[in-house]
């Protein structure tokens, strides 16, 4: 995923169109997630929804992934394969979704609570999501990849959480994974410089305990080594006029869940 491809306004608009389909899909899922429904049922709802919006599921068949959604409950970090097991109150589930339309991808993720979750688990979700916005804040002209990683790492390690090392964010466009790699850890002033027209997926994967992970025998599922929960939030962001502009939004999720939030306001896209 090493090649960096800078985008013009037209290409950014097309990526945004795909990202908004993912945003709406996650919003639709937010209304459906409750104890008793399975990840596989949600996966099928998402596939239908994406196709009804004139797009194709971005992950289905990519590197031979078998489903529309990566669904990673509890101690699973990312790349979980949806199963028929019903979700239970107290679970969390990280849902990563991709859509492909007009030759461009959208790709973002949200970790949902199922029913009532433990206070310490809610804190993991809140801190991980806040770290995503810390990362977005650092995606400005003149900064480097290490500045973004540092911001995410500092915010999450302050709580004693583990920052997953082996999986990273990435450039996004006509390919799901382009350069540069965007680690969620780093040193200030190090790494590639952020350039006008870059579009990246910023995606902290944060563990309540150790940062160490294990890949399950299915060849896909990544889980925490200590079996403690893990959270994952992801946005697609373009660098426009030197500043980060969100191409994806959690607004549809918040609408479904009745949450009001101003966290995206500083980064809203202005066409």
Q: Which residues bind Mg ion (CB under 5 A)?
A: 96, 107, 109, 201, 234
For residue 184, the minimal CB distance to Mg ion (Å) is 12
For residue 98, the minimal CB distance to Mg ion (Å) is 6
For residue 163, the minimal CB distance to Mg ion (Å) is 16
Structure-block tokens of residue 18 = 């795909």
Structure-block tokens of residue 128 = 């991980």
For residue 202, the minimal CB distance to Mg ion (Å) is 9
Nearer to Mg ion, 50 or 109 (CB): 109
For residue 250, the minimal CB distance to Mg ion (Å) is 14
Nearer to Mg ion, 53 or 188 (CB): 53
For residue 201, the minimal CB distance to Mg ion (Å) is 4
Structure-block tokens of residue 43 = 């996966």
Residue holding tokens 């697609």?
236
Report how far residue 239's alpha carbon sits from residue 261's, in angstroms, rounded to the nearest whole number. Answer: 23
Report how far residue 137's alpha carbon sits from residue 4's, in angstroms, rounded to the nearest whole number. Answer: 21
Whole-number Cα distances in Å, 130 to 37, 136, 140, 152, 221: 28, 10, 18, 9, 25
* Torsion sign over Cα 146, 135, 248, 13: negative
Report how far residue 230's alpha carbon sits from residue 239's, in angstroms, rounded to the nearest whole number. Answer: 28
Nearer to Mg ion, 132 or 208 (CB): 132
What is 129-169 written as a DSSP string?
HHHHHHHHHT--TT-BHHHHHHHHHHHHHTTTPEEPSS--E
Nearer to Mg ion, 115 or 129 (CB): 129
Q: Measure the CA dihedral 267/16/230/91, to 10°.
A: 110
For residue 248, the minimal CB distance to Mg ion (Å) is 10
Nearer to Mg ion, 181 or 234 (CB): 234
Nearer to Mg ion, 178 or 234 (CB): 234
Nearer to Mg ion, 191 or 204 (CB): 204
């Amino acid at each position: 995923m090493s090649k960096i491809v800078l985008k013009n306004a037209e290409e950014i608009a097309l990526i945004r169109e795909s990202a908004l389909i993912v945003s709406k899909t996650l919003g639709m899922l937010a209304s459906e997630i409750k104890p008793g429904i399975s990840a596989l049922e949600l996966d099928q709802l998402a596939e239908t929804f994406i196709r009804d919006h004139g797009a194709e599921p971005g992950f289905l068949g990519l590197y031979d992934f078998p489903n529309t959604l990566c669904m990673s409950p509890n101690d699973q970090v990312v790349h979980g394969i949806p199963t028929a097991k019903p979700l239970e109150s107290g679970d969390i589930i990280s849902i990563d979704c991709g859509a492909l339309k007009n030759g461009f991808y959208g790709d973002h993720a949200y970790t949902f609570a199922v029913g009532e979750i433990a206070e310490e688990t809610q804190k993991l979700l809140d801190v991980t999501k806040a770290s995503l916005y810390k990362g977005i804040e650092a995606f400005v002209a003149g900064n480097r990849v290490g500045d973004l990683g540092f911001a995410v790492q500092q915010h999450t390690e302050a709580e004693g959480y583990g920052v997953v090392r082996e999986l990273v964010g990435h450039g996004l466009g006509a390919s799901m994974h382009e350069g540069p790699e965007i680690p969620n850890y780093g040193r200030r002033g190090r790494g590639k410089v952020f350039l006008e027209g870059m579009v990246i997926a910023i995606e902290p994967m944060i563990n309540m305990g150790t940062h160490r992970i294990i890949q399950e025998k299915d060849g896909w599922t990544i889980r925490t080594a200590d079996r403690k929960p893990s959270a994952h939030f992801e946005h697609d962001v373009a660098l426009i006029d030197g500043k980060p502009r969100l191409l994806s939004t959690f607004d549809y999720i918040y609408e479904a869940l009745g949450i009001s939030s101003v966290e995206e306001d500083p980064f809203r896209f202005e066409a």
